A and B are shown apart, each in its own frame.
Chain A
Amino acid sequence: MARIVVITSGKGGVGKTTVTANLGMALAQLGYRTALIDADIGLRNLDLLLGLENRVIYTALEVLSGECRLEQALIKDKRQPNLVLLPAAQNRNKDSVTEEQMKFLVNLLVNDYDYLLIDCPAGIETGFHNAIGPAQEAIVVTTPEIAAVRDADRVIGLLEANGIKQIKLLVNRLRPQMVKANDMMSVADVREILAIPLIGVIPEDECVIVSTNRGEPLVLEKNLSLPGLAFEHTACRLDGQEIEFLDLQSYSRGPLKRLRRFFLGSSTN
């Protein structure tokens, strides 16, 4: 029986899909059969972040209408056999699927996988409710910014009202230098305000954009970047392992450190 986790946030653009793609790939690398479900109908992006956009033939909608079997719609990742993606339809909108239909899709998958990660759309309307319907657990993604935290708080309330009690926090796009300069909330600040347990902290990094440009999740890199490492740790924590959070301050790239690295090479991080 799979663990069904919804990745949500309320606010758009804080990194839900990036988290789903990387967390999913990391779980698959740990050996778990992982299925990713893109619930953002009409504005799907999970296929892009995984670099699987050219392999989308059938989507969840065709499975629901009976046009195809589930196996025909599921895309197996050639880089990691434990990972599959069920893409969303691009030419419809979030009202095209009901909560019951989402639960039906999840039930088709639940016995064959260890983890089902649902990539939730932004907002708190129908699409959101459909995505959280089948979930037992949730990861709320936020950035350390006022609007994202406010929306995350609202979403936590809605999740609790829907009977989801296992809610964990992931703080994305942290800039340790700004925190040090007292111009950004720290992870502790966000945690104190939202009052749910922390499962991951991902630093702001240009390599995230490069990874999406290439359609290669960060956790696949041989030389793991800092965000990639942070994602791996997050997957381990989801799995129940206790892993200390990285001291991102000591890794942060001030201009002086960048110069030092340029002259001395990147062995001294």
Chain B
Amino acid sequence: MITEFFERLFLSNKGSREDVKRRLKLVLAHDRSTLNASTLEKMREEILLVVSKYVELDTDSLEFSIRTDSKMTALIANLPIRRILKDI
């Protein structure tokens, strides 16, 4: 308790300004990289169309999503293949 008292007396209050700037920059980096739902859906349909030209996909167990962490955003797609189409 005594140490807390002395700490408050001698250590200057850093203020919350740096906190808010840091938090904002992080949250905005995340907000800005999120694709909206309709764009994602359009992208998904076009990608599946292209892939389906070469292989037949198992549409029931498809995975297609955006994942973001503090470092980067990635588009993750898991497309199980039923069989490879023969060249026409």
Contacts and interface: CB of A to CB of B under 8 A. Distances in A.
B86 interface: no
A235 to B, nearest CB: 29
Interface string A137-181: 000000001100110011001000000000000000000000101
A48 to B, nearest CB: 32
Interface string B18-36: 1011011101100110000
A186 B23 CA distance: 15
Given A154-B31, A193-B28, A146 B17 contact: no
A239 B24 CA distance: 32
Contact of A193 (B15, B18, B25): B25
- Interface bracket on A: 10 to 19
A184 B25 CA distance: 15
Contacts of B27: 150
B15 A181 contact: yes
A185 B17 contact: yes
Interface residues of B, number: 15
A88 B24 CA distance: 35
A189 B17 contact: yes
A108 to B, nearest CB: 33
B81 to A, nearest CB: 36
B78 interface: no
B34 to A, nearest CB: 10
Contact of A182 (B15, B23, B28): B15
A196 B79 CA distance: 41
A185 B55 CA distance: 54
Contacts of B31: 150, 153-154
B8 interface: no
Contacts of B17: 179, 182-186, 189
A186 B31 CA distance: 22
A146 B20 contact: yes
Contacts of A185: 17, 20-21
B16 interface: yes
B42 interface: no
Nearest to B20: A146
A99 to B, nearest CB: 18
B32 A183 contact: no
A146 B22 CA distance: 10
B32 A146 contact: no
Nearest to A149: B24
Contacts of A183: 15-17
Nearest to B21: A189
Interface string A104-140: 0000000000000000000000000000000000000
Of all A-B residue pairs in the complex, the 3 with the closest CB atoms, nearest first, are A182-B15, A182-B17, A183-B15
22 contacts: A145-B20, A146-B20, A146-B23, A149-B24, A150-B31, A153-B31, A181-B13, A182-B13, A182-B15, A182-B17, A182-B18, A183-B15, A183-B16, A184-B17, A185-B17, A185-B21, A189-B17, A189-B21, A193-B21, A193-B24, A193-B25, A193-B28
